[in-house]
């Protein structure tokens, strides 16, 4: 089950389609979805979580808490819609594309992908692009 929660006045337009897309991506990676809670918020909300839980006094676009066990995916993904909009401008892409990239990025972390090294980041970006191409 995928739940969409809003702590700001933003709202996804096609929750059902996006939910199916994420569920299909998880199945493609040979994992099973238990539950993911997406929480869309603003910079202040996410900054407080970043400081409190990760001890990072910086703005970020996404924080994910992974409660997965083995191949069973569970977690909470917090996304700053403000940060995504700013990043979309910086990267020269639509807000929707950047938002979907961030949404699938969190899921790919749950599926075991990392992005700390250059090689890992390249693999993560390739997977993001693969799944983004399936949404359009």
Q: Model confidence at 79, in pLDDT bands (50, 70, 90)?
A: very high
Please tell me the number of Cα atoms within 13 Å of 90 on its side-chain side: 7
Q: Model confidence at 59, in pLDDT bands (50, 70, 90)?
A: confident
Residue 115 annotated as lining a ligand binding site: yes
Confidence check: pLDDT of 136 > 80: no
Q: Total structural domains in the chain?
A: 1
Radius of gyration of the chain (CA): 14
Q: Which domain holds residue 60?
A: 2-135
pTM of the predicted model over 0.85: yes
End-to-end CA, the chain: 22
Residue 109 annotated as lining a ligand binding site: yes
Residue 130 annotated as lining a ligand binding site: no
Residue range 87-130, pLDDT digits in tens = 999 999 999 999 999 999 999 999 999 988 999 999 999 999 99
CATH value at residue 29 = 3.40.390.30
Question: What's the mean pLDDT when you consider all of the chain?
Answer: 94
Q: How far is CA 30 from CA 27, 59, 112, in A?
A: 5, 33, 11
Q: How far is CA 70 from CA 66, 78, 124, in A?
A: 11, 22, 20
Cβ neighbours of residue 124 closer than 8 Å, sequence gap 6 or more = 105, 108, 113, 114, 115
User: HEC string of 22-47?
Assistant: HHHHHHHCCCEEEEEEEEEECHHHHH
């Amino acid at each position: 089950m995928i739940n969409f929660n809003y702590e700001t006045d933003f709202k996804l337009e096609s929750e059902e389609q996006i939910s199916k897309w994420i569920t299909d991506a998880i199945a493609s990676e040979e994992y099973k979805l238990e539950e993911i809670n997406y929480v869309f918020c603003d910079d202040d909300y996410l900054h407080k979580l970043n400081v409190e839980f990760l001890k990072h006094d910086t703005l970020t676009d996404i924080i994910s808490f992974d409660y997965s066990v083995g191949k069973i995916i569970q977690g909470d993904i917090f996304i700053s819609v403000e940060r995504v909009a700013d990043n979309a401008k910086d990267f020269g892409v639509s807000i929707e594309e950047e938002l979907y990239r961030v949404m699938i990025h969190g899921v790919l972390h749950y599926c075991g992908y990392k992005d700390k090294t250059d090689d890992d980041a390249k693999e993560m970006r390739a997977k993001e692009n693969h799944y983004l191409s399936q949404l359009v």
